[in-house]
Amino acid sequence: DWTPDTFVESTVQELKEQLGDDHVIMALSGGVDSTVAAVLLHHAIGDKLHCFFVDHGLLRKDEYEQVLASYKDMGLNIKGVNAKELFYGRLAGVSEPEQKRKIIGASFIDVFDEAAKEIQKELPEGTEAKWLGQGTIYPDIIESISVKGPSATIKSHHNVGGLPDYMKLKVIEPLKTLFKDEVRRVGKTLDVDPNILGRHPFPGPGLAIRILGDITEEKVRILQEADDIYVRNLKESGWYDKVWQAGTIFLPVQSVGVMGDERTYEHVVALRAVGSLDGMTADWIHLPYDLLAKISNEIINHVKGINRVVYDISSKPPATIEWE
Ligand code: XMP
């Protein structure tokens, strides 16, 4: 019978046998999957696992600092990489969703390549990292197969594949047979920070695909503030754990409002909360009106640049969870 404990025990043993004295390089995303995969690898090979965490400037508010600190607390051999300028620069003026994903995917590879070179340089003479660790889980494999059908790509998820040939690293994916709930159970057995284990899924391209239209630092800041209010209220009201995924979307329109005696012409954000098992289908969540009212008031009163909040009542299909 499958239990998280037997999975951990047999996987750590297999990883030890497979990796021997080899070094592994791994980029962590702050999400459940890559974190649990890294902790498993760390159990097997200790500091021969070299992790890094990239700030692409499109994470949630304060997330980079918090996640990096909790990785350090968990004892992982990790480095933070600040690559905000690179991502903002390459994304400037780009509005088309697939274009954004391509730029972000390519930039991740460049940052990865740079970080991997740094790590290689620090290894003892004659040693070379041969492996790339990844947090791929079973549904990632299924979805990447299904979107590559003859009907063309639906969305190019950058998590699977995308590794340039010249990097010549062999891929190691300790979670590739597991579903999300199993990954969480394994993480719990491994004492992974509950804040990371309970986190909603967050797309690799981050807030870039929650800002419709082109991305500016100002829009990122506004969205981060609004989203922070939304997520905090979900947590305080007990709704966060009942929702599979929630997020705030910055819309590419301005609308008229009044503030005191003044007419305003400001931005609109949409709130999204969905229930789902695997992200393939999803229903919008009937959050209580009182909670929505509180969140809307707080956002409009505290986030300069927003004068209207709307709630997304679309399910998947035919809508998707993200707006891009
Ligand atoms: P959609 O919008 O396709 O999202 O209903 C399904 C799930 O996938 C996430 N998502 C992504 N994750 N890179 C990712 O790593 C992406 O480009 C991407 N696009 C969507 C989305 O957040 C949801 O959990």
Residue 34 is assigned to a ligand binding site? yes
Q: Same domain, yes or no, for 9 and 121? A: yes
Query: For the chain, how many structural domains are there in total?
Result: 2
Q: Say if 67 falls within a structural domain.
A: yes
Q: Tell me, using a 6 A CB cutoff, whether residue 312 lines ligand 1.
A: no
Domain CATH number, residue 151? 3.40.50.620
Q: Same domain, yes or no, for 34 and 103? A: yes
**Nearest in space to 247 (alpha carbons), one of 218, 283, 223:** 223
The stretch 80-103 carries a mean pLDDT of 97
Q: Tell me, using a 6 A CB cutoff, whether residue 204 lines ligand 1.
A: yes
**Model pLDDT, residue 145:** 65
Rounded distance from Cα 76 to ligand 1 centre (Å): 27
pLDDT digits (tens, 9 = 90+) for 238-297: 999 999 999 999 999 999 999 889 999 999 999 999 999 888 999 999 999 999 999 999
Final residue belonging to a domain, choices 197, 221, 245: 197
Residue 29 is assigned to a ligand binding site? yes
E strands, the chain, are 23-28, 49-55, 78-82, 129-133, 170-172, 245-259, 262-275, 283-284, 306-311
Confidence of residue 309 (pLDDT cuts 50, 70, 90): very high
**Nearest in space to 248 (alpha carbons), one of 266, 267, 276:** 267
Q: Same domain, yes or no, for 91 and 160? A: yes
Q: Say if 96 falls within a structural domain.
A: yes
Q: Tell me, using a 6 A CB cutoff, whether residue 29 lines ligand 1.
A: no
pLDDT digits (tens, 9 = 90+) for 103-131: 999 999 999 999 999 999 999 888 889 99
pLDDT, the chain, mean: 92
Structural domain containing residue 176:
4-197
Q: Same domain, yes or no, for 186 and 76? A: yes
Q: Say if 320 falls within a structural domain.
A: no
pLDDT digits (tens, 9 = 90+) for 35-74: 999 999 999 999 999 999 999 999 999 999 999 999 999 9
Quote ipTM for the complex: 0.99
Bridge-based pairing of strands 262-275 and 245-259 is: antiparallel
Final residue belonging to a domain, choices 146, 166, 197: 197
